Copies of this chain bind each other. A is one copy, B any other.
Amino acid sequence: MLSNSSKYAIKGVLYLALNSDEDHKVMVRDMHGVVHVPEAYLAKLLQELSRHGVISSTRGPRGGFFLSKEDRKRSLMDIVKVIDGEKRVKSCVLGVKDCDTDQPCVLHKLVGANKSKFIKVLENTTILDLIEGKRDVEEFFPV
C-alpha cells in the first residue's frame, strides 16, 4: 500500500499539525518518540518534505519543523508523492505500469474501483481534514 517511509512521514506531519505552528516549532528530538519513528530517519524524511515545500522549517535556536496555514491545506498525496513517488501507489495490481482503465489487467474490474477510490482519498484529504477538532490524539500514531 504505502511504504514505511510514507507512513512515517504522514505521522510526522500529523504530529506537526497537532503540535506546531509558526511560532511553536518542533524539534525532531521532541517528536520521534510519540510517532514511533527513529529520530534520525524521521529527521531525514521531514527534511525531504521541507525541501519540497510540503512542510516548513527554520534552523537555529527556537527553530524546528512546523506547518504553516498553507501547509495544512496539503493533501496526503502531496506527502506520498515526495516520499514514494506517485508511480508506486498508482501502479497496476499486476504490473509496474500505471493502472490503466483503457488497458485493464484481468484484476482491474475486481479492484480498480477500490484502487482509484483509495487514491482519491489520498488526493482529496488534507491535513486539516484529519485533525480538525482534535488535539494530542495518540491514536494518530500507531506503531
Q: Name A residues whose Cβ lies closer than 8 Å to a Cβ of B.
A: 1-2, 4, 7, 10-11, 14, 76, 89, 91-97, 103-107, 110-111, 114-115, 117-118, 121, 125, 130, 137, 139-143
Candidates B7, B92, B105; contact of A94 at CB < 8 Å:
B7
Please indicate the chain B residues that have their CB under 8 angstroms from the CB of A143 in the complex. Answer: 95-97
Is there an interface contact between A1 and B93, defined as CB atoms closer than 8 Å?
yes
Task: Give the chain B neighbours of A1 by CB distance below 8 A.
Answer: 1, 89, 91, 93, 115
> How many whole Å from A24's CB to the nearest CB in chain B?
21
* Count of this chain's copies in the oligomeric assembly: 2
Give Cα A142 to B106, complex, Å: 9
A104–B137 CA distance with the chains assembled, in angstroms: 12
Contact (Cβ within 8 A) B121 A111: yes
User: What are 25 pairs between A and B in contact, CB < 8 Å?
Assistant: A1-B1, A1-B89, A1-B91, A1-B93, A1-B115, A2-B93, A4-B96, A7-B93, A7-B94, A11-B94, A14-B106, A94-B141, A94-B142, A95-B143, A103-B139, A103-B142, A105-B139, A105-B140, A106-B130, A106-B139, A107-B121, A107-B125, A110-B125, A114-B118, A114-B121
